[in-house]
Amino acid sequence: MSARTATVPMARRRSGRGRLLERGLIYLGATLLALFILVPIYLIAVSALTPRENAFDFPHSVVPAELSFDTILFFINASGVIDSFWRSVWVALITLALSLLIGAPAGYALARYAFRGRSGYRLLVLSTRAFPIVILAIPLAVTYRVWGINDTVIGVALMHTALALPFTVLITSSVFVSVPRELEEAAQTLGCNPLQAFLRVSLPLALPGLAAAAIFTWVLSWNDVFAAVILTLRNPTLPAHILSALTQSPIYFQFAAGFVMLVPSLVVIFFIRRYLLGLWGRVVK
């Protein structure tokens, strides 16, 4: 390629007006793409904040005449919602704790030690992503019935941990790579044993990255519907409860449900905005 480009004669600089036009078009495209993302979020917010008795008014006005929490309160007080909400919180917390407890040590090992089988282990973890998640839930439901943890918070959390673990290992490994090992070694020359050096030096420095990894895990667990539907029956998580309630619930219930599930995701993305590329972008390499 370089041989070919080298023969191209030095071209004239494009005129300032052409550049300006191009710049303008890029801004226009950027804005349209942003509207495609933002407008639906705005619309579901208006839908969820419209009082129930106005839910069927037609046509809707894009600028709402009246906003109220009436529909959202109706949703929150509907039977099963609060219970399933807390179940979802517990499932996500257990998933988060388990995947960090099990995954972070492996991530640390990948980042800090050169050992036989290191690249083999990495490949193994990466290859889990080639397997669809759908395939795990059905056999696990069978196993859980034998173990007696079918339809429980812990059962769902264990399955979510299996989903999250490969990501946790890779993310924490890149977090620990970014903490200079020299600091840890310096601590050891000053009399710390390896564990103390880790706890007092590396861990505090790695904390923001680990928090981002934890939030990533939370999102994964909070958003899962399929596994939760398969693994629960009378004790569903929030998404599983909403999914099974969809057909026999009024449309404003759906709007409030969609909005309530959406808000935490938006907040979370805001808090880890700096880590977006590191979490979702780089771990695929």
Partner 1 sequence: MTSRLGWAPYALLIPSLAFLAVFFATPMVQAFALAFEGPDGGFSLANIQRMLGDTSFRSALLTTLALVVLVIPIQFALAMSMALVVNARLKGQGLWLYIYALPLGISELAAGIVWVSIFTQSGWLNSILIGLGITDRQITWQSAETPWLLIACVVIAEAWRATSIIMIILVAGLQSIPREFLEAADVYGATTWQKIRRVVLPMLRPSLQVALILRTILAFQVFATVIALAGTGLDVLASEAQRWATDIDNDNVAAAYAGLILLLSLVSTILFLVLLPTREEHQA
Count each helix (H run) and each strand (E run) in the chain, helices first: 14, 0
Per-residue mark of binding to partner 1, 54-93 (x: CB under 8 A): --xxxxxxx-------------------------------
As measured in angstroms, the least distance from the Cβ of 144 to partner 1 is 10
The interaxial angle of helices 134-147 and 153-177, nearest 10 deg, is 130
- CB nearer to partner 1: give 40 or 208: 40
Question: Residue from 52, 76, 89, 128 that binds partner 1 (CB under 8 A)?
Answer: 128
| Only segment of 63-71, 72-80, 103-111, 206-214 that touches partner 1 (CB under 8 A) | 103-111
Report if residue 234 touches partner 1, rule: CB under 8 A: no
Applying CB under 8 A, what is the total number of residues that bind partner 1? 109
Question: Residue from 189, 191, 234, 248 that binds partner 1 (CB under 8 A)?
Answer: 189
> Of the candidates 92, 74, 89, 83, which has an alpha carbon nearest to the alpha carbon of residue 257?
74
| Cα-based angle 251, 247, 161 (whole degrees, multiple of 5) | 105
| Only segment of 65-73, 79-87, 99-107, 206-214 that touches partner 1 (CB under 8 A) | 99-107
As measured in angstroms, the least distance from the Cβ of 126 to partner 1 is 6
Report if residue 190 touches partner 1, rule: CB under 8 A: no
**Separation CA 153–CA 95 (nearest Å):** 10
What are residue 92's phi and psi, to 5 degrees? -65, -40
**Separation CA 179–CA 175 (nearest Å):** 7
Tokens of 78: 């509907």
As measured in angstroms, the least distance from the Cβ of 72 to partner 1 is 14
Report if residue 3 touches partner 1, rule: CB under 8 A: no
Near partner 1 in 14-43, by CB under 8 A: 14, 22, 26-27, 29-30, 33-34, 36-38, 40-41, 43
Buried b / exposed e over 171-186, threshold 16 CB at 10 Å, is: bbbbbbbebeeeebee
- What is the DSSP annotation of 9-39? PPPPPPPHHHHHHHHHHHHHHHHHHHHHHHH
Near partner 1 in 195-214, by CB under 8 A: none
Report if residue 249 touches partner 1, rule: CB under 8 A: no
DSSP state of 280: I
